[in-house]
């Protein structure tokens, strides 16, 4: 009898070691390395690692000779999802959709598969729910259910065997954390099982031209559960985000081999499932009738389109030795840095003030083009002076107090003009060459000029 092999794997990053260590040398995490026993038995399906990217034989050819006619994209029937995927679903691609529990991952994929099943062969594999539970949800949402093929299974070998007979064009694995391979003796959900199952399904997708959606869970910290190698082997990684007190969900791409990354799709959770929001700026700009200080509208750039969101700031006298700096929807460290720039180059001292910043609508702003809007909102709240309701602001603030330009400045101004904004404060380098109809643009070079423009 062959002796079982033993490996030591980090639960956070998936790194392999020949012996147990207290700290992972790759990700520097402590007490994350566990022992994994590998079975010497062979799987019922060949696990030959040749042809991982879809080619079954080694052949050298020039890039111009590669045929692209057999991989046309096809629509998912949802424009917001197509936008995030780069224009549609690519045959043979492996797509990972993550999100917190209750975000709507299974609901979105069930809606997509029911619509796709009317045009192509689609297979939905569920490992966490029974077929009755999925059927009840589809009936409640009013989806067409007469064409979608269903399977309740957690064995990757069995799924691929049945897929060879069904020959689907698109397949859903819900979820990758409950799938397992017979060769791996560790429990489903472990690092070894998740990594090998995802690699096996990715290889199957590329060799057979099947687009596979894998559902992934997130950890308490909000990152994707499982080893980081899971995100490396797949082609597309998207996250479905949304707060518990909001009915809006944002689908954000973090990796895409077939299109631009960081694209954003917006959905609204209703009683009939997820519905697309074609004009998200109108949703995030639902401002109250009473206009107070500390509120300003900024134009951020998400993927390939501008987005108007409202930013609110509250500055209040602190009763603590260390005043609080709280940022919801943006980075706290950048808030502290901008407050230092405001003190040094704007002459406003806030070391004895609590500063709270919030991006309305649950949107998370990661670009630096929101720096100027954030500082102007803080100054508005500190001075208790309301900014004009028809004012939009964007621009990056440097450490020396200069206002740096941002990309796609003219497109941002045109988007704001469509929504009725008539005034704008922008970096000097983003001054449009031709006047924007109905809008007065104030170009500034420094933070002091921006404060004087108020």
* pLDDT tens-digit map of 242-280: 766 678 888 988 899 988 887 888 898 888 899 998 888
For residues 288-306, give the mean pLDDT: 83
Question: What integer pLDDT is reported at residue 374 of this predicted model?
Answer: 96
Q: Work out the average pLDDT over 221-236.
A: 70
- Write out pLDDT tens, residues 69-111: 666 889 999 999 999 999 899 999 999 998 888 889 999 999 9
Burial of 449 (0-12, 13-18, 19+ CB in 10 A): middle
Check residue 288 and give its pLDDT: 61
């Amino acid at each position: 009898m062959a002796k079982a092999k033993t490996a030591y794997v980090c639960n956070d990053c998936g790194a392999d070691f020949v012996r147990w260590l207290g700290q992972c040398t790759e990700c520097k995490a402590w007490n994350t390395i566990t022992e994994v026993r590998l079975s010497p038995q062979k799987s019922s399906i060949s696990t030959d690692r040749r042809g991982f990217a879809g080619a079954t034989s080694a052949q050298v050819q020039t890039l111009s000779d590669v045929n692209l006619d057999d991989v046309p994209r096809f629509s998912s029937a949802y424009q917001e999802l197509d936008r995030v995927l780069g224009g549609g679903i690519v045959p043979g691609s492996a797509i990972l959709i993550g999100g917190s529990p209750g975000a709507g991952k299974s609901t979105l994929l069930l809606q997509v598969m029911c619509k796709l099943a009317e045009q192509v062969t689609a297979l939905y594999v569920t490992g966490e729910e029974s077929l009755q539970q999925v059927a009840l949800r589809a009936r409640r949402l009013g989806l067409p259910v007469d064409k979608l093929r269903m399977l309740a299974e957690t064995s990757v070998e069995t799924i691929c065997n049945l897929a060879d007979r069904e020959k689907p064009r698109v397949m859903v694995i819900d979820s990758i954390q409950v799938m397992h391979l017979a060769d791996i003796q560790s429990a489903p959900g472990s690092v070894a099982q998740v990594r090998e199952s995802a690699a096996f399904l990715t290889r199957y997708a590329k060799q057979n031209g099947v687009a596979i959606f894998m559902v992934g869970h997130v950890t308490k910290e909000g990152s994707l559960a499982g080893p980081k190698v899971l995100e490396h082997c797949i082609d597309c990684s998207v996250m479905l985000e949304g707060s518990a007190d909001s009915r809006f969900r944002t689908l954000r791409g973090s990796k895409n081999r077939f299109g631009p990354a960081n694209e954003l799709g917006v959905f609204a959770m209703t009683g009939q499932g997820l519905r697309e929001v074609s004009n998200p700026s109108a949703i995030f700009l639902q401002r109250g009738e009473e206009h107070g200080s500390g509120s300003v509208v900024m134009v951020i750039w998400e993927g390939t389109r501008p987005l108007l969101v409202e930013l609110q700031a509250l500055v209040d006298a602190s009763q603590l030795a260390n005043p609080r700096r709280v940022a919801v929807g943006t980075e706290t460290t950048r808030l502290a840095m901008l407050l230092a720039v405001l003190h040094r180059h704007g002459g406003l001292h806030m070391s004895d003030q609590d500063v709270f910043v919030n991006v309305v609508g649950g949107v998370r702003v990661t670009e630096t083009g929101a720096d100027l809007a954030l500082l102007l909102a803080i100054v508005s709240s500190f001075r208790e002076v309301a900014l004009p309701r028809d004012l939009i602001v964007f621009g990056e603030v440097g450490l020396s107090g200069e206002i740096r330009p941002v990309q796609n400045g003219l497109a941002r101004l045109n988007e704001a003009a469509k929504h009725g904004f008539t005034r704008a404060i922008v970096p000097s380098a983003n001054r449009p060459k031709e006047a924007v109809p109905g809008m007065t643009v104030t170009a500034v070079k420094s933070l002091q000029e921006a404060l004087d423009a108020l």
